[in-house]
Chains A and B, each alone.
Chain A
């Protein structure tokens, strides 16, 4: 019963998630990886059904389905992590004149560092 619940819930949750992403924006182009992931969700539902009769075969089908789904979720997660951890580069920096130097030479000295 455990494999059935696991495969079924995963298939429904991820399938519904990708489905909403596919049709969230009207007129937006379809992402082929999302379609691959959607087919993976469908395969996972088949695996859930198979797990009641042939658990070992269902496990292999589920593994293939999960790999299909990772085609979409993998890059999406990587982008999410990159967006969260990425520190944006400052596009401008204030350079103050140093004590004991003329403002012009200080600015030139500072700007030469970049």
Chain B
């Protein structure tokens, strides 16, 4: 039984890890769900087996250990709440970009393309222009992520000030 549970946890972790490494948000969320389930299965394995730990249930010895189950329950509740939040976030992202792909950090790309640091400072605007240019050349929805920024129709977002906080309806 322990072996079976261990195998189940291992399988959940393996599939979860694979899914988490995808670029689509929906798959990542399912993957995270599987990862947490794997951890919960480990909790089920953790305690001692035995009779239900209820007062007045008869036997005074050989109870099962209730603590891991309580901990697993807490963990399930927490991961449920956070997964719901993540789904809302993914939905928000889908509303804004029409895609549930997780995008790269644009500034990272700019710096990767900019080469030397001080050149990058001077050429930041030129680089942005380059990316805009690339956008026209690459067909939209290309599967490969070649770092050309095809999924960033709104490159100005990068330079928007933080405080504006405007919420599109």
Physical interaction between A and B: no
Residues on B close to A: CB < 8 A?
A: none
Residues on A close to B: CB < 8 A?
A: none
